[in-house]
Structure 1
Amino acid sequence: MGRGDLSNEEWDRLGPSLPRNVGRGGRWKNHRQVIDGILFRLRTGIPWRDLPTRFGKWKTVYDRHRRWSADGTWDRILRAVQADADAQGRIDWSVVSVDYTVCRAHKHAAGARKQVPQKAGNHSWPAQHRPDEALGRSRGGLTTKIHLASDGGCRPLVVLITPGQWGDAPQLIPVLDRVRVPRPDGGRPRTRPDYLCGDKAYSSRRNRQYLRRRQIRHTIPERRDQRAHRLRRGSAGGRPAGFKRDLYARRNEVERTVYALKRFRAIATRFDKRAYVFQGTVTIGAIRLWLR
């Protein structure tokens, strides 16, 4: 076992959630060898063609990652790993925090074709194509934002990528709508944290109405211009937003989660050309953090 490969204990926790077979056309290659190759590339950020031969053919490793990113397999594996952790009481729902981080995109991430074929070899899947490819242009070049929600244990509950120039506040609702941890014993999935923390970038009337409607208690500081506008309206402006400083201090947990994700070089710098492939790469990073 090489440095960074899955341990036997981690493999025992991951194995039951992996696909059993490829369907028509043959059997899967060794799942553990291929996933170790994907994790090696995640950690080092090297080109796929430069993968060490101990992981088998580089194209097999890359195709597995691309296929599972496109058909949602990585998302299902993440939910399964989270469900196992929740059943053991290892998810801290007491305070969930939201935040974002910006990743610089390498020049290899640019220039994707406008049309995506719906078939690859003998297998087809719904290609998760988006016209912007989650690339935004800023002064420093092409960038991608990763929006995430983190539990109190500094592990991502959900990740979402957007172009780098997109705002933060509009992504709060899509991020929280993706929080969905199944219950192995049956019943509705867990979708609502006990408490939510976010910085003032997420302060908006729409977000607060959404949180009140879902009965999610939250601490999001009010922006100065919003406070001034509320005071100018007098009694029609409503009451000030509640703020608990001791709970807001726990927002560092999501910042530590961002730091843990960006220790993977393939996440800190985006090399993937397609948005759905990079989304899969970030999801694998989240799975790796849950397995530790």
Structure 2
Amino acid sequence: MIGIILMSYGGPESVDEIESFFTHILQGRKPSPEQLKPIVEQYLALGSPDPLRTKTKRQAEALQYVLNQSGMTEIKVYPAYKHASPYIEETVGLMIAEGVTHVVTLPMTPFYTAKGVGQYQRSVQDEIEKRELTIPVSHIDNWFLHPDYIAVIASRVKEALNWLPKSAREQSTVVFTTHSQPGNEEKHEEYVKQFTGLAERVATKLNVTNWKIAYRSARQKQNWLGPDIKDVIHEEAENGKKGIVTCELLSLTNNVEVLQEIGIECQEIANTLGIHYVRTEFLDDSIDFIHALANISKEKLSELEVLNV
């Protein structure tokens, strides 16, 4: 049996797990009460369970269904998380126990970085080696320029642009966002290249000429990649733009961090500046995205000669 391990950052299963979740992120160091309070408030403000965790599970279920329905019945998809249970390591153990003979990793982010996707992949490989097994591992990564994925992103941008009033649509800017990284562009050359390349492809597909890239979630008191999305909104308003459409390209699944910064804080800035603001929908477990993932998976598996697909 082929096991696809669908990997994401993870999230708490209940309010009671928020502290332990962030303790794991901080490598065993508990967040202080001052650090924890605003985090808990953000989760409580959702009024629902953590979306990243629940949506990732549904993505795995939906991907397996689509693959199985296409005749690939020997494939099972397992959701796994970096900072929450089921952890990547324990999921590898489950896959082995259930008789998986070839492990295929699939990260829920289109961009590859050594500290991001690379770390996910190493966790899988290390767990197999720790068990002294020779199960082969293959990786589905760097799928950010797959035409099916670009088409899905483009459809979300088009819907967001159409949501703007006609009076603002022609004087609006599409801003593609991703998580910032500490350091300059030279240090993160490949990451910036992937991000910019995807943004350009989506804009070209839609014939959008007024677009920019921006970064979010940079920490203070450090040099991070820029420009910051909030600064870009201010600049565009000063330049006379009537609307902003933001499209997140790294986090494809609904999550608290992006909702807070892009969904709430940027909206408040735009409201204060008197310009229209709309963000694209997360891809989550939407049918077109799942079919895109299925096609990406089939093509990669075929290239790797894992299956006769």
TM-score, shorter chain, exceeding 0.5: no
| TM-score computed with the length of structure 2 as normaliser | 0.30
| TM-score computed with the length of structure 1 as normaliser | 0.31
> Bigger relative contact order, structure 1 or 2, given CA contacts below 8 A and separation 6+?
1
